Amino acid sequence: MNQTKEKKRLEVAKIEDLPLQVGKEVNVGDHEIALFRLSNGKIKAIENRCPHKQGPLSQGIVSGEFVFCPLHDWKIDVSSGEVQKPDDGCVKTYPVEVVDNIVYLII
C-alpha cells in the first residue's frame, strides 16, 4: 500500500517581518529554517545549517539569490540549495507561499 504524507501549510512570518536581504531563523517542529526576502521580493526558505560546519545560514550575507555562510563564506543558492563550486554540498529547500502578506511554509 502506497501512503503519501500530506503536506502542511504553516504560517511563519509576515512580509513586513522580513527585511530585504536579511535572513530570519524560524523553527517549525524539529526543522530549523532560514527565511530570506530577496531584493527582487521573492521569499525563499532553506535549511538553516551549512553542510560544511553547520553555520547558521540565517546570519549569512545575502547577495542576489545566494547566501554566504557566516563561518567560512560558502556560497549557497537559496533557490536550489546547491553549494557553489569549488565547494560541494546541498541544503534542503522548502516551498513558500505568500497570501495576503503572510508567509507560509509547505512542509
Profile the chain (107 residues) by mean pLDDT over runs of 10 residues: 71 95 93 95 97 95 96 96 96 96 94
Q: Could you say which DSSP state residue 15 is in?
A: G
Question: Is pTM beyond 0.85 here?
Answer: yes
**Is 78 strand, coil or helix?**
coil
Q: Which grid cell sits at 50?
A: 551549512
56/24 Cα distance (integer angstroms): 10
Residue whose C-alpha cell reads 545575502 in the numeric block:
62
Looking at the domain assignment, is residue 2 inside a domain?
A: no
Looking at the domain assignment, is residue 23 inside a domain?
A: yes
33/28 Cα distance (integer angstroms): 8
State the pLDDT at residue 3.
Answer: 54
Closest alpha carbon to 62 in 15, 20, 93 = 20
What separation in angstroms does the CA of 66 have from each of 21, 29, 42, 62, 100?
10, 26, 12, 6, 26
State the pLDDT at residue 65.
Answer: 96
Query: Which domain does 19 fall in, by range?
Result: 9-106
State the pLDDT at residue 6.
Answer: 77
Looking at the domain assignment, is residue 25 inside a domain?
A: yes
Number of structural domains in the chain: 1
15/11 Cα distance (integer angstroms): 11
Looking at the domain assignment, is residue 1 inside a domain?
A: no
Looking at the domain assignment, is residue 68 inside a domain?
A: yes
